[in-house]
Structure 1
Amino acid sequence: MTDAGELIAGRYRLAERIGQGSMGVIWRARDERLDRVVAVKQLDYDAAIGPAASQQASRRALREARLTARLRHPHAITVHDVVEAPGGPYLVMEYLPSRSLAEILLDRETLPAEEVARIGLPVASALAAAHAEGVVHRDVTPGNVLLGESGVVKIADFGISRATGEGTVTGGGFIAGTPAYLAPEVAGGHEAGFPADVFSLGATLYRALEGAPPFGNDDNTITLLLRIAKEETVPPRHSGPLAEVLTRMLQRDPEARPSMAEVQELFEAVTGGRPLPPPRPRPRAGTRLLRVRRPRRRLVLASAAGAVLLALGVVIGTVLVPGGTTTVAAPVSSVPPASPPASTPASPAPTTPADLGCAARYEVTNSWPGGYQVQVTVRNDRAAGLSGWRVRWQLPAGHRISGLWNGTFTVDGSTVTVENADWNAKLDADATTTFGLIALTQNGSDAARPALTCRTL
C-alpha cells in the first residue's frame, strides 16, 4: 500500500489522497525535479476488475499516457508522465485545485440551467477535441468534471479511454464506465463509441439540472444496467433550450445523437442566447454521405447501389400568410415544368380567412429517403406584441414527428399542435422566431406540404 510521503520514481513525493478515479487512487504530490505540484494517479486494477487485469496494468498505463498526451486542450487535464514503481504504474497529471461536479451536487442537489450550460460548453469542447484525435473518454460523469477555484472547467480522468483502432484491454466482459451515466448501447454490452460520450455528457448535465440521472438511481447495478439498456429516459421536467439540447444528446439511437462538435455548437447557442441550430439529418442504413464540390457545400445521400442521388438543402414547402392562406413553393429543378393540357382547369385562388394574430412559414430544408427536416418561422403580424403562439397542421398518413426543437408539440390523431417554448413566447410587432422538426415517413414519399394555422395565445 502506497503511503503519504513516499517518493515515486525518485521524483514525485506523495502528499495526500485527493480522490478516487476510475481504476485508481489520485494523490496530490510534488515534482521535486521541477518544483511544482502535480496529481499522481496510482493505477489499481486488482481492486477494480480482479487479478487477471493486473497483468495488463503496465500496458494500459502506457496506452493511456499515449492517448491523453495527444490532447493539449485548455479544458482537459494534461498528462505529464507515466512511471513504473513499486505498487504499480503511476500517471503524473496536471494538478487543478478544484471540486468535482459530483461534490458540488452533494451540497446543492441541482444547478440553474444557465450554470449547467456554462459547465457543458467547455467540457463539450474538450471532448470534441478528443474525438477529433480518435479518443473516446468512456467515463464522462459528474465526478470527472472539475470546477476550478478561478471558474475554469476541465474534464479529467481519461483512465478508461480508448483510441479508435486500438483494442480494449478491460476484457472478461467488464463494462467500462459509471453505470448511471452509461449510454444504452454500452449498458447492453456494446463497445463505447463517440456517441456514448455524447450520451454520458448529456446524462451528467441532466443530473445537474434535474437532480437525478436520466434513468434514475438504483443501488442494484444489474437492475440499473437492465433499465438503461431497455427503457426510455425520464423526460426532463425543465423546458427551454438547455432541456432541448439534453433531449437530443440522450436519444436512445446512437445515430440520432449529435456529434460532440455539434454539441459544442449547441451549447454556444444556449450560452449566447441564440436559437438552437436544427439537428443535422443522419443517413439511413444502407446509405453513405458524399461531399459534392459546389459553391455552397451540400451533402448528398447515395443508395447502396449508388443509383439515386438526392440533393439536400432544397427548399420544398409551404408559405402561410396571415390566417392560413397558403402558397406552395415548388421543388427546385433545372428542368422547366411541362405546360398543362389545355383541358386542365385552373386551380382556384386561395382564400384569406380572418387574421388570427400571427403567421407561419413552413419550409422543408432537407429531405432524404424516408424522412425530411422542417423549419417553421412564426411572425407576429400585429401592431402590438404577443405573449404566446400556437401552430397547427394535419400530418399526412404514414408520417410521424421524431423530434422537435424550440417548442413543444402534441399529436392528436393527425393534427399536430406546436406551442412556443418559454423563452420564445414573446414577440414584438413584426418580430419572428423559429422552430424545427424531423419527420419520418413509412412509405418513402416526399415531404409533407400542409396548410398551417397560427393563432396567438
Structure 2
Amino acid sequence: MDRNAVIAGRYRLERKVGRGAMGVVWRAHDERLDRTVAVKQLLPDTWSDDAPFRSIVRAMREARVAARLEHPHAVTVYDVAEQDGTPFLVMEFLPSRPLTELLADDGPLPAGRVAELGAQIASALAAAHENGILHRDVTPNNVLITGDGQAKIADFGLSHAMGEGTMTGGGLVVGTPAYLSPEVADGEEPGYPSDVFSLGSTLYTALEGAPPFGTDANQIALLKRVARGEITAPRTTGPLTDVLLRLLRRDPRERPDMAEAERMLAAVADGRSAILSGTKRLPAPTRRSRLPFVIAGGVVVAGGALAGILLFDGDSPEAVAPVAAPSPSAAKPVCEARYEIANRWPGGSEVRVSVRNAQDTRLTGWEVSWTLPPGTRIANLWNGSLAQDGDRVRVSELDWNAVLPAGGTTTFGFIAATEQEGGDAPVAVCRSS
C-alpha cells in the first residue's frame, strides 16, 4: 500500500508510523469526519494459507474485541475496513512513543514513575478482564507514552475474548517470548494471570533495564528459561520490587488479579503501603494443586517448590507445635515465614521468603532466621537487611516494609550460591522485632 492511497473510500494514508505485531501502522486522515486516525494494515506475511478470507475474519474479530473496551489508558478502535482483500483496523491516532523507545533513550525509570505507569496500564487491563478480554502480548513495545506522560496500552491485535473462537492453532505460541508467563511458555492456554505476569515483566524491564528472563537471540532457549521461571534477581529494593515479585510469581494462583495489581501499584506511586490483607487471588487449574502445607518444623512441597515453614509466638524461640484440634486458648503466633526455593540451577538457586502477620493487630517489626545448609552463601539480598553469624542467618525489615497490617504480608529474596545439588529447604523462624 502506498502513501495517499484511500482505504474504504474515506481513510487517506499519509505516512508509516510503526509496525505492530500483525502489520504496518499508518497515520491517515479520515476524510468523512475530518480527523487524524491510525490505520493498521494486516500484512500478507501474517496471513494463513487460506488468506485473505481468514485474515479478514481475524481482523473483524480483533476489531469487535478491541471496540468493546473503552478506557482512558487503552487505545480506542474506531472501525475495521477492507480494501482489495486486505483488512485494515482504524484506531485513535496517539502522538506518543513506545516505552521501549523511552527506555532506550533514557535508561531505567525511577520506581515511583514505573509504579505510576504500571497503575495506569493495570487499570486498562483490569477493565479488559472485566469484559472477558485477554491482551496476550503486554510488552514495553505495546505501552505508549503520550506527550503529557500518560500511558496507554495498545495493540489488542493478539487479544482473545473469552467465549470467542481462536484464530491461531497448530500449537502456535502467541506473544513476545521475553514477556510470556511460565505457563504459556510451557504450552498452556493463556489466561488472566498470564496478562498479570506479562505486566510484571514489562514493569520489571522499566525498573531494571532488562526483562526478568534476560534476552537471548535463541528464542527456544529463552522460552525454556521462561518456562522454568528463572527470573534474574532484581538489583533494586523497595515496595515496588515487592509488588513486582508478586506479579511475577511462577504459580498463577499466587499472583494477584489485575484489579489488585492496579491497587498495589497505585499505592506505591502515592507513597502508601501496598501490603494489605485480603489480597484477591486468581483462579488456577486444579491440576496444579499439591499436598497441603504442614506447619511447624517440616519441609513443605507446594506448587513444585520446596518450602520450610515455622510459626513463632512473639519473641519466643520455641516453635508452636502442630496439634490436630487446637484448643480455643492456644497461643496465636505473631508471624509466619515461608522459605521457598523458587528456581534451581547448577551451583545456586533463587529463594523467596514470605513474611505474614498472623495477628489481629498490626505488626511493627519482624525478623526471620534460619541455618544455612553446608556450603551455602547468600548473595544479592533484596527487600531485607541481612545479619549473619557463621551459618546462622537473620533477615529483618527495612523502613518501608516494617509495618504489616493484620494478615498483611511482605516478601524478601536472595540468590543462594551452593556447592551441593538439591537438598531440602531450611526451616525459617519468624518473630517480632
Q: Given that residues 39 and 95 in structure 1 are in contact (C-alpha distance below 8 angstroms), is that contact kept between their aligned partners in structure 2? A: yes
Residue equivalent to 1:57? 55
Q: Distance in 2 between matches of 1:412 and 1:173?
A: 52
The answer for unaligned runs of 5 or more in structure 2 is: 288-310, 337-353, 372-381, 412-426
Cα 1:69–1:281 change in 2 (3 A) is closer
Deviations 1:424-450 (A, max 9, x none): 56xxxxxx5566259xxxxxxxxx997
Deviation at residue 150 of structure 1 after TM alignment: 1.5
Q: 1:362 aligns with which of 331, 334, 348?
A: 334
Residue 51 of structure 1 aligns to a residue whose secondary structure is coil
Deviation at residue 210 of structure 1 after TM alignment: 0.8
Residue equivalent to 1:251? 249
Residue equivalent to 2:171? 173
Deviation at residue 318 of structure 1 after TM alignment: 6.8
Cα 1:281–1:49 change in 2 (3 A) is same
Q: Distance in 1 between matches of 2:199 and 2:383?
A: 21
Q: Distance in 2 between matches of 1:71 and 1:34?
A: 22
**1:262 is aligned to 2:260:** yes
Residue equivalent to 1:209? 207
Q: 1:273 aligns with which of 271, 274, 280?
A: 271
**1:423 is aligned to 2:396:** no
Q: Given that residues 394 and 415 in structure 1 are in contact (C-alpha distance below 8 angstroms), is that contact kept between their aligned partners in structure 2? A: yes
Q: Distance in 1 between matches of 2:201 and 2:77?
A: 26
Q: Distance in 2 between matches of 1:31 and 1:318?
A: 67
Residue equivalent to 1:391? 367
Q: Given that residues 118 and 265 in structure 2 are in contact (C-alpha distance below 8 angstroms), is that contact kept between their aligned partners in structure 1? A: yes
Residue 90 of structure 1 aligns to a residue whose secondary structure is strand
The answer for unaligned runs of 5 or more in structure 1 is: 288-316, 339-349, 351-360, 365-371, 380-388, 396-404, 426-431, 439-447
Cα 1:393–1:179 change in 2 (3 A) is closer
Q: Distance in 2 between matches of 1:411 and 1:54?
A: 66
Residue 147 of structure 1 aligns to a residue whose secondary structure is strand
Deviations 1:397-431 (A, max 9, x none): xxxxxxxx975689999988442235356xxxxxx
Q: Distance in 1 between matches of 2:56 and 2:283?
A: 41
Q: Distance in 2 between matches of 1:89 and 1:285?
A: 36
Q: What is the 5 A alignment of 1:311-326?
A: 320=314
Deviations 1:27-71 (A, max 9, x none): 110111110000001112x42365356541111111111111111
Q: What is the 5 A alignment of 1:117-266?
A: 117-266=115-264
Q: Distance in 1 between matches of 2:429 and 2:180?
A: 40
Q: What is the 5 A alignment of 1:283-362?
A: 320=314, 362=334
Residue equivalent to 2:105? 107
Q: Given that residues 393 and 453 in structure 1 are in contact (C-alpha distance below 8 angstroms), is that contact kept between their aligned partners in structure 2? A: no
Residue 452 of structure 1 aligns to a residue whose secondary structure is strand
Q: Distance in 2 between matches of 1:188 and 1:411?
A: 38
Q: Distance in 2 between matches of 1:165 and 1:410?
A: 53
Deviation at residue 165 of structure 1 after TM alignment: 1.7
Deviation at residue 392 of structure 1 after TM alignment: 4.0
Residue 232 of structure 2 aligns to a residue whose secondary structure is coil
Q: What is the 5 A alignment of 1:23-62?
A: 23-44=22-43, 46-48=44-46, 51-52=49-50, 54-62=52-60
Q: Distance in 2 between matches of 1:411 and 1:83?
A: 66
Q: Which has the larger radius of gyration?
A: 1
Deviation at residue 275 of structure 1 after TM alignment: 1.4
Residue 19 of structure 1 aligns to a residue whose secondary structure is strand
Cα 1:362–1:209 change in 2 (3 A) is same
Letter in 1 for 2:396: E
Residue equivalent to 2:431? 452
TM-score, length basis structure 2: 0.73
Q: Given that residues 207 and 214 in structure 1 are in contact (C-alpha distance below 8 angstroms), is that contact kept between their aligned partners in structure 2? A: yes
Residue 200 of structure 2 aligns to a residue whose secondary structure is helix
TM-score, length basis structure 1: 0.69
Q: Distance in 2 between matches of 1:51 and 1:281?
A: 41
Deviations 1:123-157 (A, max 9, x none): 00000000000000001111110110122211001
Q: Distance in 2 between matches of 1:390 and 1:415?
A: 17
Q: Distance in 2 between matches of 1:409 and 1:201?
A: 30
Deviations 1:94-136 (A, max 9, x none): 1110011011111123111111111101000000000000000
Letter in 2 for 1:11: R
Q: Given that residues 240 and 422 in structure 1 are in contact (C-alpha distance below 8 angstroms), is that contact kept between their aligned partners in structure 2? A: no
Q: Given that residues 392 and 415 in structure 1 are in contact (C-alpha distance below 8 angstroms), is that contact kept between their aligned partners in structure 2? A: no
Identify the range of structure 1 (104-113 vs 133-142) with the bigger mean alpha-carbon deviation: 104-113
Q: Distance in 2 between matches of 1:207 and 1:18?
A: 24
Residue 334 of structure 2 aligns to a residue whose secondary structure is strand
Q: Distance in 2 between matches of 1:283 and 1:51?
A: 36
**In the comparison of the two structures, how many residue pairs are matched?**
366
Q: Given that residues 363 and 432 in structure 2 are in contact (C-alpha distance below 8 angstroms), is that contact kept between their aligned partners in structure 1? A: no
Q: Given that residues 357 and 363 in structure 2 are in contact (C-alpha distance below 8 angstroms), is that contact kept between their aligned partners in structure 1? A: no
Cα 1:325–1:413 change in 2 (3 A) is closer
Q: Given that residues 101 and 147 in structure 1 are in contact (C-alpha distance below 8 angstroms), is that contact kept between their aligned partners in structure 2? A: yes
Residue equivalent to 2:356? 374
Quote the sequence identity (%): 50
Q: What is the 5 A alignment of 1:48-87?
A: 48=46, 51-52=49-50, 54-86=52-84
Q: Given that residues 229 and 250 in structure 2 are in contact (C-alpha distance below 8 angstroms), is that contact kept between their aligned partners in structure 1? A: no
Residue 272 of structure 2 aligns to a residue whose secondary structure is coil
Deviations 1:73-114 (A, max 9, x none): 110011000111125111100111001101111112311111
Cα 1:414–1:172 change in 2 (3 A) is same
Deviations 1:192-233 (A, max 9, x none): 111111111111111111111111101121221122112421
